[in-house]
Amino acid sequence: MAFENIDYRVDGPMALITIDREDRHNAISLGTLDELQVAVAQAADDDSVRVITITGAGSAAFASGSDLSEVLHRDFKKALEPIVQGLADQLERTPKPTIAAINGICMGGGLEVALGCDLRIATPNARFATPEGKLGIIPGGGATARLPRLVGRGWGMEMLLMGDPIDAERALQIGLITRIVQPEELIPEARRMAAHLASFAPFVPRTMKAMVNFGMEASLAGALMLEKYAQGALVQTDDKVEGISAFLEKRDPDFKGR
């Protein structure tokens, strides 16, 4: 598929997907969403890709939100379709770790895409908001569910009800992001994170991700039980033997994914 609204490239173990509508502050149109879903699926199916990173073109915005020229004409039936929710769900479901590399504005539907990622890093000029209430609507891409789960009910309600932007420092304080890096280091930092994750036994990041996603929705007892079964499966792998042997022998492991 030839992409018009995004750029897709494989950079070592990382697939880098860039929302490329800089003249519109990377607003997410329906066509952009379709292309993002295709790109994420393509990265998920590529065995050379170990990590998927999403970013925005330019320095002004990761994604300013949904394309309002389309939202203006969206009716009830269209609103019920899993539009941004579908992409965020896809990012959560893919076994590979996902990173949102955020530079500038990250609001509305753009924030909801970032919330679907496993890790979020940002530059000092990043700004985050759910401003939909000021437009006579509410978020429809998962923010009312994911944001309070991530930052807690208090800050979730603050951001959702008030709709005002918070800066990168506040986002770091409340756990919305985990790292602040200078703009020129944003993609290199994502690349370093991807290389670090790629150094693990392949089963480890995907199993860890699955356990966290299940555990957040399950009872504590159920999550703990499944964790033990998952660990029980991994201790029977060749990579477990290689990982422990390499540590004891003070050498780098050579994982095979089996």
E strands in the chain: 6-11, 14-19, 51-56, 61-63, 98-102, 105-107, 119-122, 127-129, 166-167, 179-180
Query: In a 3-state reduction of DSSP, which class is residue 258?
Result: coil
Query: Is 112 one of the annotated active-site residues of the chain?
Result: yes
- Catalytic pick among 22, 81, 92, 112: 112
- Catalytic pick among 22, 35, 132, 242: 132
Q: Are 65 and 112 in contact (CB under 8 A)?
A: no
Residues 72, 83: Cα–Cα separation, whole Å:
15
**Considering only CA atoms, which of 152, 166, 146 is closest in space to residue 87?**
146
Task: Summarize the chain as % helix, strand, coil (round to 5).
Answer: 50, 15, 30
Query: Is 70 one of the annotated active-site residues of the chain?
Result: no
Residue positions annotated with a catalytic role: 112, 132
